[in-house]
Amino acid sequence: MNLLVTGAAGFIGSTYVRGLLAADGPDAPHITVLDKLTYAGTLTNLPAEHPRLTFVQGDICDAELVDKLMADADQVVHFAAESHVDRSIDGAGAFVRTNVVGTQTLLDAALRHGVGPFVHVSTDEVYGSIETGSWPESHPLQPNSPYSASKASSDLLALAFHRTHGMDVRVTRCSNNYGPHQFPEKVIPLFVSNLLDGKNVPLYGDGSNVRDWLHVEDHCQGIDLVRTGGRAGEVYNIGGGTELSNKELTGLLLEACGADWERVDRVADRKGHDQRYSVDWSKIHNELGYTPKHDFTSGLADTVAWYRDNRDWWEPLKERAALESRKEQGKH
């Protein structure tokens, strides 16, 4: 079986691919990774020499390339996306192009070649913000950032291909991921890498915003349950079961890195900052047997230790990102 995985040089996609490659057996798929290798993707995340892995550098908006790869695919897991909220606030164009047009390009090609299931990986941010309780999959989409609006649009496109064409599309929506190999612009790896370097960390507003935390390996377990056992046209929430305010998370990271609150800079709150996310993941639990396996306390400790022990992975990425940022600033 040939599995096409988009965006798998990034954090979540590479974790998913490494997990599938680690499992042998007659049903083990050959995996083709399509990744543009933007700032957030790196080949160091993948076992490039693995006999069941083929890597193709390219853009999911490249219809000719996508069609060629889709002709040889049996199934698709679609991770590729622009995903950083702050970057979407600074400029939404790349998010619309990649997340909406790119998804449409993949769907068109998958439909043309009869490929399925097509698992579209999305985010809890499409639901907006919730004061109490948790969102079921049937909750209306109310995205508040350009990033989440582009992901909501791609969700609706994917589901429309199921309803219009009968295509086997399955959508997952996850809560905040953490774990090794996460690009150090997201809060946990940013804070850990800054603290390890003796730098301060930025805390938005009063730090009261609440997120549910999901270990990346648990997320990938849920995605593969949906790929192998989910139902066509359905949405599945994937949660971690650990809700923390940003201030509480900051305290845990300071403690783990042997730092104190003097290392925290209070910064102006993000525009349109959602107060709280919380997904109801009883559907995937009841239908497919999903349960998170990672305890947050030990998972966070292991993650901090990984960044402490793998400077050679994240230091070049931070340097490259800083250089690109300076180049962009020089254009204005």
CA distances from 303 to 45, 91, 294, 311, 331 (A): 15, 31, 12, 13, 36
Among 235, 223, 233, 231, residue whose Cα is nearest residue 138: 235
Whether residue 47 has a cis bond before it, omega within 30° of 0: no
- 124 part of the active site: yes
Dist CA 125 CA 31 (whole Å): 29
| Cα distance between residue 133 and residue 131, in whole Å | 7
Separation of alpha carbons 216 and 183, rounded Å: 13
Q: Which helix (H) or strand (E) holds 194?
A: helix 187-196
Out of 127, 147, 277, 290, the active site residue is 147
Q: Which of 16, 35, 82, 124 is catalytic?
A: 124
Contacts of 332 (CB under 8 A, 6+ apart): none
What single DSSP character describes residue 99?
I
Residue 269 annotated among the catalytic residues of the structure: no
35, 82, 125, 137: the active-site residue: 125
Active-site residue 147, yes or no?
A: yes
Catalytic residues: 124-125, 147
